[in-house]
């Protein structure tokens, strides 16, 4: 092997000035070796993230070569930069087309493979011919590459794939004589079926036989593709299911864990269909499944982890499969922590009266290990065993007491927490150990442990001689405690008081005072008040409420909901089964066709727009609420004048407060200026309103008037009216900080002085958020997608707007309307699997640079719309959402 010192690493040396020029010269060299080296240097720069796109044409020239090594390098470069240089990529088309009919099948396949990776829509037209030939190529290597290429093309241009009949060709490939071709054909069809939501991967009886036959012959990966597609097939009846299972079971012996797990998935899903009359076969299958699952635990830790997460589901669904195998889940000392944690979960699920002895010894052993999280989980597992198995509860408690004796801080705390659960599960049975617990009060410093201990003290106050003293010590630090502890303290003290009113009257009074008067935690205050009223009005009722019987708890903390479990069993051997979440929870379908077709739509829409603008631009404006802007509207070139936003005018002050004026005010944006518009009706007897001075209080948007003096146009004498427009700008020093976690207040407080009368009056007006959307808030589709994905789901807001006016049901009109308010259209697409539903994406940015991304879902024939809004500026999210709702309703 050529592993000399002169490896590719030399290409990584930093690029000095002028090196680009040098590279360029080398790329044009007639010496092939120099050329190859130069391309390698370019690729090296690309790998470390340097921009070498300026060499595009130079690198492209190297593609015309017979040297396959050089060709591969150039193709690698092309794939990377084709997106940013679509025009130039077209220059390479000829080479691709030529290579696709090269005599060497490796080159033919290379050309098809690379073309598919270049996601430039204009290249797709050139791709179709070679692809269609490649799908029928004599050489299986070319055919298998072409099969995957159809899936690539579908991702860019689904319509083209359908139009050219590639789906049918792909379907034919399932009957191909070569197993690799079959495997890739199945993979491509399955993917298309999944993204399109259409049943393009129909499995008929003959297809089924072909798949089962190919299963024996194709590569390990191919087997996985085939098994996964089988798992989506529903057999006609129990007999067919059994027949397929029979063909699939040998796969359980495969060395590749992915094959084994996919086979397990098929078998488990089909077992459901076999029905109860087949209990013998089901039992036989159950026996067959256990050994391969156990064998997976001898693999690499990563595979073990995946297997354990899946086994967790399997033991919940079919506990019999592994009921006798609990020992294999005992942890090795040097297992990675993440494997140990998962094993522990399964141990708890498999624990029974038969094996509890062994399990307890094992858990006790773990509780002495080093890793804190693991130890805590082991301790809590002991408690969960006690809750699960009544007959073993006493032994579990014994072990916990032993552990408490070790005095290891976190072991003691965790023990206290689980003992509380045991008390709740078996009331009045194990209280003898309370004394031991009380000995360890000092060690408790975690809120949860403290709270548990306090709960125990309150619950069993009558059996603890000094319960009130114990509580008293906790009360000293009441104010510094965590809310959980405070709540428990409150309840425990009240319990204590109800059981022994004489000695604890002072204490309960003190707690109630602290809870209701000194705390700013609403939960605590509310509970305090409730107790207070209960105690003061009807102590007997208080007893019934506070000391009443509590429902018995069960160990269901980690059990999945049966419906979810069934979903997940169908998702064995997928990420879904690792996360224990349905795929919808983490897979965001971009859907087919967000790529090119929409871009075109987008442009067309804009064209439409301007047309309308020309036609009725001025006309519509005449209806605009009588504002004195008509004279300016003639040259109004702002797009979307049909939906020119108007300021929502609200009465903000009446004559009694403002010295005889009635004022309606509202915000809007006009020609990229935010303005506060006021309609002033002068109902006073003597004053004239002409010059006004304006001031704004600090507000959540940093708005302030650009000039303090404005005129009322026309000046309004007594009985007359006029309009005043205050132009606003945003400045950071006018910004009132919004407390974290609270929604921003839309209110803007305004002070106006009538310069003629000297009257000053105040009013507040809510900002309609769209008024501060910036006109440059449009976003690139790609950066929208990036941003959309990068924003945490927690910062997501939802709303459903019903009773929309008819024009808000038409997506095209909505787009125009939104655009006029600087809410910019990004893309729209039909929702896969849902007839008549369409989602539309919009972006908006405020003049203060806050970005908001929105997804609107419309359904045909329904005059409602779902809004999903994402933003990093969570505090302003509600405002933005409201703005969209208002726009839709307007």
Partner 1 sequence: MISMIMVLNQKGDIMISRQYRDDVGRAAADSFRLQVVAAKETGTEAPVKRIENCSFLYTRHLNMYFVALTRSNVNPALVFEYLFQLIKILKAYLGEEFDETAMRNNMTLIYELMDETMDFGYPQNCAVDVLRLYINLGTAKPQDEPEPSKLTSQITGAIDWRREGIRHKKNEVYIDVLESVNLLLSSTGNVLRNEVAGSVQMNTKLTGMPECKFGLNDKLVIEKDKEDRKPSVDIDDCTFHRCVRLGKFDADRTITFIPPDGEFELMRYRVTDNINLPFRIIPAVQESQNNTKVSIDLKVIANFSDQLFATHVVIKIPVPKNTSKTKIKHSFGRAKYEPEQQAIVWRVKRFAGKAQCIINAEVDLMPTVRSQPWSRPPINVEFQVPMFTGSGVHVRFLRVYDKSGYHTNRWVRYITKAGSYQIRI
Binding residues for partner 1 restricted to 309-328, rule: CB under 8 A:
327-328
Please report how close the Cβ of residue 735 comes to partner 1 at its closest, in angstroms: 29
Rank residues 276 and 298 by Cβ distance to partner 1 and give the closer one. Answer: 298
Nearer to partner 1, 435 or 588 (CB): 588
Q: Candidates 336-344, 485-493, 755-763, 867-875: pick the segment binding partner 1 (CB under 8 A).
A: 336-344
Do 303 and 292 meet the contact criterion of CB atoms below 8 Å apart? Answer: no
Query: Any idea what DSSP says for residue 441?
Result: G
List the interface residues with partner 1, window 166-225 (CB under 8 A): 178-181, 184, 187, 191, 216-221, 224-225
Q: List 830's β-bridge partners, or say none.
A: 838
Q: Taking contact as CB under 8 A, which single stretch among the options 405-413, 468-476, 678-686, 755-763 is the one that binds partner 1?
A: 405-413
Q: Compute the distance between CA of residue 736 and CA of residue 744 in angstroms, rounded to an integer.
A: 10
87 contacts: CB under 8 Å, gap ≥ 6 = none
Residues 260-279 that bind partner 1 (CB under 8 A): 260-262
Residue 625: half-sphere exposure toward Cβ, Cα within 13 Å: 17
CB of 197 to partner 1, least distance (A): 14
Are the C-beta atoms of residues 296 and 260 closer than 8 Å to each other? Answer: yes
* Closest of 58, 109, 111 to residue 81, by C-alpha: 58
Residues binding partner 1: number (CB under 8 A)? 120
545 alpha-carbon distance from chain centroid: 42
Distance in Å, CB of 339 to partner 1, minimum? 9
Tell which residue, 864, 853, 687, 711, has the closest CA to residue 777: 853
Task: State how far the Cα of 177 lies from the Cα of 184, in Å rounded to an integer.
Answer: 13
Taking residue 328's Cβ as centre, other Cβ atoms within 10 Å add up to 16
CB atoms within 10 A of CB 794: 7
Instruction: Spell out a b/e string for 230-247, using b for 16 or more CB atoms within 10 Å of the CB, else e.
Output: bbebebeebebbbebbeb
CB of 777 to partner 1, least distance (A): 22
Give me the phi and psi of 183, to 5 degrees please. -60, -50
Residue number with CB closer to partner 1 (571 or 681): 571
Q: How far is the CB of 302 from partner 1 (least distance, A)?
A: 4
Which of 315, 439, 433, 469 minimizes the C-alpha distance to 418? 433
Site for partner 1 in 81-140 (CB under 8 A): 83, 104-106, 109, 113, 116-117, 119, 139-140
Which of 505, 783 has the CB closer to partner 1?
Answer: 783
CA 263 vs. chain centroid, Å, equals 30
Nearer to partner 1, 16 or 333 (CB): 333
Task: Using CB under 8 A, pick the residue from 22, 168, 172, 302 that binds partner 1.
Answer: 302
Q: Scanning the structure block, which residue is given the tokens 């207070």?
A: 532
148 binds partner 1 (CB under 8 A): yes
Residue 2 near partner 1 by CB under 8 A: yes
Q: Which stretch binds partner 1 (CB under 8 A): 53-61, 145-153, 167-175, 665-673?
A: 145-153
Task: Find where tokens 């089988």 sit.
Answer: 230
Residue in 277, 298, 634, 742 binding partner 1, rule: CB under 8 A: 298
**In the complex, minimum distance from the CB of residue 68 to partner 1, in angstroms, rounded to a whole number:** 9
The angle formed by the CA atoms of residues 441, 442 and 443, to the nearest 5 degrees, is 95
Closest CA to 747 of 772, 767, 727: 767
Q: Which residues, 6 or more positions from 614, have their beta carbon under 8 angstroms from its beta carbon?
A: none
User: Binding pattern to partner 1, positions 637-666, x when CB under 8 A?
Assistant: ------------------------------
Considering the complex, state which of residue 195 and residue 488 has its C-beta at the smaller distance from partner 1.
195
Tell me how far CA of residue 334 lies from CA of 330, 337, 347, 374, in angstroms: 12, 8, 18, 13
Binder to partner 1 among 128, 162, 207, 294 (CB under 8 A)?
294
Asked if 386 is part of the footprint of partner 1 (rule: CB under 8 A), the reply reads: no
Q: How far is the CB of 298 from partner 1 (least distance, A)?
A: 5
Q: Which of residues 589-628 bind partner 1 (CB under 8 A)?
A: 590
Identify which of 310, 219, 218, 317 has the alpha carbon closest to the alpha carbon of residue 264: 310
Q: Which of residues 23-42 bind partner 1 (CB under 8 A)?
A: 40
Min dist CB 864 to partner 1, Å, is 27
* CB of 111 vs partner 1, minimal distance in Å: 13
Contact predicate 555/387, CB 8 Å: yes
Give CA–CA dist 440/533, Å, rounded. Answer: 35
Per-residue string for binding with partner 1, 741-780, x by CB under 8 A?
Answer: ----------------------------------------
* Single residue of 280, 333, 635, 656 touching partner 1 by CB under 8 A: 333
Query: Interface with partner 1 includes 369 (CB under 8 A)?
Result: yes
* Residue 358 touches partner 1, criterion: CB under 8 A: yes
The residue from 128, 162, 193, 258 that contacts partner 1 (CB under 8 A) is: 258
């Amino acid at each position: 092997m050529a592993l000399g010192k002169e490896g590719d690493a030399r290409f990584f040396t930093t690029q000095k000035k002028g090196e680009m020029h040098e590279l360029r010269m080398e790329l044009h060299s007639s010496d092939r070796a120099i050329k190859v080296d130069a391309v390698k240097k370019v690729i090296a720069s690309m790998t470390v993230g340097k921009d070498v796109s300026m060499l595009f044409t130079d690198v492209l020239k190297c593609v015309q070569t017979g040297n396959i090594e050089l060709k591969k390098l150039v193709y690698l470069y092309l794939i990377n930069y084709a997106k940013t240089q679509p025009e130039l990529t077209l220059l390479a088309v000829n080479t691709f087309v030529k290579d696709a009919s090269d005599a060497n099948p490796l080159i033919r396949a290379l050309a098809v493979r690379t073309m598919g990776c270049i996601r430039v829509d204009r290249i797709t037209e050139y791709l179709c011919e070679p692809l269609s030939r490649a799908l029928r190529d004599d050489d299986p290597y070319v055919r298998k590459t072409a099969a995957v290429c159809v899936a690539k093309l579908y991702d860019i241009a689904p319509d083209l794939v359908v139009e050219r009949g590639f789906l049918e060709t792909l379907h034919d490939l399932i009957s191909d004589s070569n197993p690799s071709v079959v495997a890739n054909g199945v993979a491509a069809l399955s993917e298309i079926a999944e993204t399109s939501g259409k049943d393009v991967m129909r499995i008929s009886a003959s297809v089924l036989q072909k798949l089962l036959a190919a299963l024996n012959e194709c590569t390990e990966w191919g087997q996985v593709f085939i098994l996964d597609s089988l798992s989506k097939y529903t057999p006609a009846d129990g007999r067919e299911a059994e027949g397929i299972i029979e063909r699939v079971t040998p796969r359980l012996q495969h060395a590749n864990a992915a094959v084994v797990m996919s086979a397990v998935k098929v078998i488990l899903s089909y077992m459901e269909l076999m029905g109860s009359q087949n209990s013998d076969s089901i039992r036989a299958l159950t026996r067959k499944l256990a050994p391969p699952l156990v064998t997976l635990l001898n693999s690499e830790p990563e595979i073990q982890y995946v297997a354990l997460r899946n086994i967790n589901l399997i033991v919940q669904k079919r506990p019999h499969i592994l009921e006798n195998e609990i020992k294999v889940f005992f942890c090795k000392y040097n297992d990675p922590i993440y494997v140990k944690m998962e094993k522990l979960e399964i141990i708890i699920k498999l624990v029974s009266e038969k094996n509890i002895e062994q399990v307890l010894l094992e858990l006790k052993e773990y509780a002495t290990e080093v890793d804190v999280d693991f130890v805590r989980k082991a301790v809590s597992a002991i408690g969960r065993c006690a809750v699960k198995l009544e007959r073993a509860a006493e032994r579990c408690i014994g072990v916990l007491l032993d552990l408490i004796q070790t005095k290891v801080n976190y072991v003691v705390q965790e023990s206290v927490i689980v003992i509380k659960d045991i008390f709740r599960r078996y009331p009045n049975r194990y209280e003898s150990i309370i004394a031991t617990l009380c000995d360890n009060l000092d060690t408790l410093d975690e809120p949860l442990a403290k709270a548990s201990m306090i709960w125990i003290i309150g619950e069993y106050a009558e059996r603890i001689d000094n319960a009130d003293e114990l509580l008293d010590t906790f009360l000293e630090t009441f104010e510094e405690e965590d809310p959980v502890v405070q709540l428990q303290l409150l309840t425990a003290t009240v319990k204590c008081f109800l059981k022994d009113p004489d000695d604890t009257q002072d204490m309960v009074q003190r707690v109630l005072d602290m809870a209701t008067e000194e705390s700013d935690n609403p939960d605590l205050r509310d509970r305090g008040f409730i107790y207070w009223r209960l105690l003061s009005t009807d102590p007997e009722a208080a007893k019934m409420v506070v000391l009443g019987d509590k429902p018995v708890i069960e160990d269901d903390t980690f059990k999945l909901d049966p419906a979810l479990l069934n979903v997940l069993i169908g998702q064995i051997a997928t990420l879904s089964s690792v996360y224990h979440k349905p795929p919808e929870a983490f897979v965001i379908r971009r859907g087919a066709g967000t790529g090119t077709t929409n871009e075109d739509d987008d442009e067309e829409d804009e064209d439409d727009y301007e047309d309308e603008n020309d036609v009725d631009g001025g006309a519509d404006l005449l209806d605009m609420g009588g504002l004195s802007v008509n004279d300016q509207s003639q040259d109004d070139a702002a797009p979307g004048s049909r939906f020119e936003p108007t300021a929502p005018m609200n009465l903000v002050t009446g004559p009694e407060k403002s010295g005889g004026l009635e004022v309606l005010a509202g915000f809007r944006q006009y020609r990229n200026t935010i303005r506060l518009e006021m309609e002033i009706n002068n109902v006073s007897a003597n004053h004239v309103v002409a010059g006004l001075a304006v001031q704004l209080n600090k507000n959540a948007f940093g708005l302030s008037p650009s000039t303090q003096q404005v005129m009322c146009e026309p000046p309004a004498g007594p009985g007359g009216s006029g309009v005043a427009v205050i132009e606003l700008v945003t400045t950071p020093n006018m910004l009132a900080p919004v407390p974290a976690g609270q929604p921003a207040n839309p209110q803007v407080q305004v002070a106006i002085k009538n310069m003629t009368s000297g009257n000053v009056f105040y009013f507040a007006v809510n900002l309609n958020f769209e008024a501060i959307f910036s006109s440059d808030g449009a976003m690139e589709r790609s950066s929208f997608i990036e941003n959309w994905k990068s924003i945490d789901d927690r910062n997501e807001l939802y709303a459903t707007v019903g009773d929309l006016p008819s024009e808000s049901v038409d997506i095209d009109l909505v787009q125009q309307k939104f655009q006029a308010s600087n809410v910019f259209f990004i893309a729209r697409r039909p929702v896969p699997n849902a007839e008549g539903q369409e989602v539309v994406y919009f972006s908006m940015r405020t003049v203060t640079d806050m970005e908001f991304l929105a997804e609107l879902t419309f359904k045909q024939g329904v005059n409602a719309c779902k809004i999903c809004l994402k933003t990093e500026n969570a505090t302003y999210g509600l405002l933005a959402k409201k703005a969209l709702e208002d726009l839709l309703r307007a």
